Amino acid sequence: MTMGLSRSARWATAWLAAVGWATGCGAEAGDDDTGGTGDDDAAAADIDCGDSDPQLVCGTGDSGYQPLAEGDEVTIIHGPQGGWHLTGAFATANLGEYADITYDLTDVPSGLVVASGTARIAMVPEGECSFVVYNLLMIFDSDLYGPLASGEDLDTPCELFDRHRMRMRYVVTGLDSATLAEVATVEAVIEVVAVPQDACEGEVG
């Protein structure tokens, strides 16, 4: 599969003006609360975000960023167009507003990459030198998970990956060419939303 061209590279990005910064599977961005007013505010306005080390924290969330710790549960969603996806998100600090992002999703038991994609995005400002991105649809690609299928009774993500551990990985490259990578290992949990009970039957991807 060519990343950026397949179904798994179609991004649905929702924007929210205020999303709380929190730590997750990565290191916490440095706390740079200047406090006060007057001269302190003027000094804060002169902060160069490039002077501090970039930070990346991976997470999930469809209407806002939520941090992820290893072993957290993430729901597999059956979308209205028939595909299946996990919802990704991440937070950054000291990286800038615009970035190239790449993700991949690996089924830990089999070692197979089952979703991947890439995009260039403008991130949502969250605070001084901090940005968030969420509602990134990691769409399962049948061309990738196909080798795991076994006839018609075991050929969809909801049948193949229920209670599996998934490795969710983000690589984020800022315009200044600083590249960060974070990995979260999460447990996929099936949740079929607004579809018939037989949605797991037949080819979906």
Alpha-carbon torsion 65, 71, 77, 83, what sign? positive
Nearest by Cα to 172 from 104, 106, 92, 114? 92
Residue 99 CA to residue 122 CA, distance in Å, equals: 7
Closest CA to 47 of 100, 98, 99, 93: 93
Instruction: State whether residue 64 is helix, strand or coil.
Output: coil
- Alpha-carbon torsion 142, 2, 122, 52, what sign? positive
Q: Measuring CA to CA, which residue among 117, 116, 106 is closest to residue 164?
A: 106
User: How far is the C-alpha of 122 from the C-alpha of 84, rounded, in Å?
Assistant: 25
Distance CA 173, CA 141 (A): 24
pLDDT of res. 193: 56
SS3 139: strand
User: What pLDDT is attached to residue 32?
Assistant: 38
Domain edges within the chain: 7-17+52-191
Q: DSSP 3-state assignment of 61?
A: coil
CATH of the domain spanning 7-17+52-191, picked from 3.50.50.60, 3.40.50.2300, 3.90.550.10, 2.60.40.10: 2.60.40.10
Closest CA to 141 of 106, 172, 102: 106
| Percent helix, percent strand, percent coil in the chain, to nearest 5 | 10, 40, 45
The helix or strand, by DSSP H or E, that contains position 90, with its residue range, turns out to be strand 84-93
Give the three-class secondary structure for 158. Answer: helix
Q: What is the pLDDT of residue 75?
A: 87
pLDDT tens for the chain, 205 residues long, are: 223 323 333 333 322 222 222 223 443 333 334 344 444 444 444 456 767 888 899 899 999 999 988 888 888 888 888 889 999 999 999 888 899 999 999 999 999 999 999 999 999 999 888 999 999 999 999 999 999 988 777 888 888 888 888 999 999 998 776 788 888 777 777 655 544 445 565 443 3
Question: Could you give the CA distance from residue 88 to residue 147 in angstroms, rounded to a whole number?
Answer: 24
Nearest-CA neighbor of 164 among 103, 61, 86? Answer: 86
